[in-house]
């Protein structure tokens, strides 16, 4: 959400079946940004006390999904990917097919949220 709002856009948060999702109408992102072991760098030059602005949000989402044994899907730039994490912490996106909407949709299921 912070990334979408930082670009001046709006975002949608929802729950569909077993998946929580965040969706925006931005320009998209690289699915490999969900790697857990990537350097801590931020593209956010304006840091406001009311927003995260640390450049760490995608890594936190990925860590929560990994720790819970859940699944993460990223739909962006015309394709949908399932994210698989490697033992070294890298994200390996598996292309599942086309995505016919604008922007990015991040869908996740955390097993702890389902009580399993």
pLDDT per residue as tens digits for the range 8-52:
678 889 998 888 998 988 888 888 878 777 666 555 555 555 555
Q: Report how far residue 61's alpha carbon sits from residue 43's, in angstroms, rounded to the nearest whole number.
A: 17
Mean per-residue pLDDT, 100-104: 90
* Beta strands 11-16; 91-98: pairing state: unpaired
* Statement: residue 67 has pLDDT above 80: yes
The pTM score is 0.80
DSSP code at position 57: H
Domain 2-114: give its CATH architecture: 2-Layer Sandwich (3.30)
Reading the block at residue 80, the tokens are: 């949908």
Cβ neighbors of 109 (< 8 A, separation 6 or more) are: 18, 19, 20, 65, 70, 71
CA 116 to mean position of chain CA atoms: 22
């Amino acid at each position: 959400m912070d990334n979408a709002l930082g670009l001046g856009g709006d975002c949608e948060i929802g729950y569909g079946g077993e998946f929580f999702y965040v969706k925006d109408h931005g320009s998209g992102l690289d699915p490999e940004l969900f790697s857990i072991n990537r350097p801590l760098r931020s593209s956010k030059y304006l840091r406001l006390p009311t927003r995260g602005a640390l450049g760490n949000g995608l890594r936190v989402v990925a860590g929560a999904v990994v720790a819970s044994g859940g699944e993460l899907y990223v739909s962006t730039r015309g394709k949908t990917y399932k994210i698989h994490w490697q033992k070294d912490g890298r994200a390996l996106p598996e292309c599942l097919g086309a995505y016919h909407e604008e922007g990015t949709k991040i869908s996740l299921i955390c097993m702890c949220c389902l009580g399993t």
